[in-house]
Structure 1
Amino acid sequence: MPKSMSEKEAIAYIDTKPGWAMLSTIGPDGYPHTVPVGYFRVNNKIYMGCRDNTQKIVNIERNPKVSVSLESGSTMNDLKGVLLRGKAHVIRDDKNRLAISIQAAQSRGVKKVDFPKTVSPNLVYIEFRNFKITSWNYR
């Protein structure tokens, strides 16, 4: 039987970056649309960068309800993960995109002199916050 993680443990698990996040949005046909995405966390927000006008972006703008799943382990004896549910929104303005790009660089350990000075015009960020956490830990 799996144990639930405390909120603090779940946030710490998210920060270990166990792998790609699986982002699920609601497609135009009402079915889930799930894709792998890279992510990073700043305070109580999770950011995912991607190209504009992709299906996930179109879906979020039509219906902001999303879920993000992170999981690690290869057997039932070491399976561990979190499911985050809430609403997301797309960030397109240049000032915020640059600030988030700098935070992303910081999270990867990039030196300050190498921080981005501009952002690609086709790059947007998905911001996910105020999410509900469900967790499991078979370890």
Structure 2
Amino acid sequence: MSEDEVAALLRDSRKLQLATINPDGTPHLVTMFYGLSDGRLTFWTYHKAQKTRNIERDPRVTCLIETGEDYFELRGALVYGKAQLIADPPGVLAVGMEVAKRMTGLDDAEQLRGYVEHTGRKRVAFVVEPTRVVSWDHRKLA
């Protein structure tokens, strides 16, 4: 896919699969709602979550965003990168608001601000600095 097509996929999707590296070298894979900041993937999680501990030890991550049910509908992007910590409360809140919008489908999640501020006290956020993007679009095969 072109850069514009990948950007549209990231903009229009809601969830990603996040892979981090466990202490024993095995992958830790979870599904996350995410946000975007200047086209970069962002997500938040609890301070004590396994993914947080893994990223603190090794910031390399892989994010998979995909869509489609049948073979000739499949398209997706693998974003390889390094997750950078966002620990300051305004930054965590900003990521939380973007995630809340994507989770709920609301264009304006302002009504959720109180919830996001409350739950954000126990969270940290990350932005993924991409190092490589691999994409595919099986709709182009037909």
Q: TM-score, normalised to structure 1's length?
A: 0.84
Shift of 1:42: 2.0
The correspondence of residues 1-139 of structure 1 with structure 2, limited to 5 A, is 5-17=1-13, 19-104=14-99, 108-110=106-108, 112=110, 114=111, 116=113, 118-120=117-119, 121-139=121-139
Query: Partners of 1:101 and 1:92 in 2: how far apart?
Result: 12
Identify unmatched segments of 5+ residues in structure 2.
none
Task: Report the 3-state secondary structure (helix = DSSP H, G, I; strand = E; otherwise coil) of the residue aligned with 2:113.
Answer: coil
Q: Mean Cα displacement is larger for which, 65-74 or 126-135?
A: 126-135
SS at 1:74's partner residue?
A: coil
- Comparing both structures, which one devotes a greater share of its residues to helix? 2
**Distance apart, 1:115 and its partner CA:** 6.0
Letter in 1 for 2:33: G
Q: Which whole-Å CA distance do the structure 2 matches of 1:27 and 1:111 have between them? A: 34
Alignment CA distance shift 1:20-1:111 (3 Å): closer
How far apart, CA to CA, are the structure 2 residues paired with 1:48 and 1:65? 15
CA contact (8 A) 1:44 1:129 kept: no
Cα shift at 1:90: 2.3
Cα distance, 1:125 vs structure 2: 1.1
Identity %: 30
Distance (whole Å) between structure 1 residues aligned to residue 12 and residue 57 of structure 2: 31
Q: Please list the CA deviations of residues 23-54 of structure 1 after superposition, one character each: whole Å capped at 9, or x if unmatched.
A: 00011101111110000112132111222210
CA distance in 1, matches of 2:26, 2:100: 34
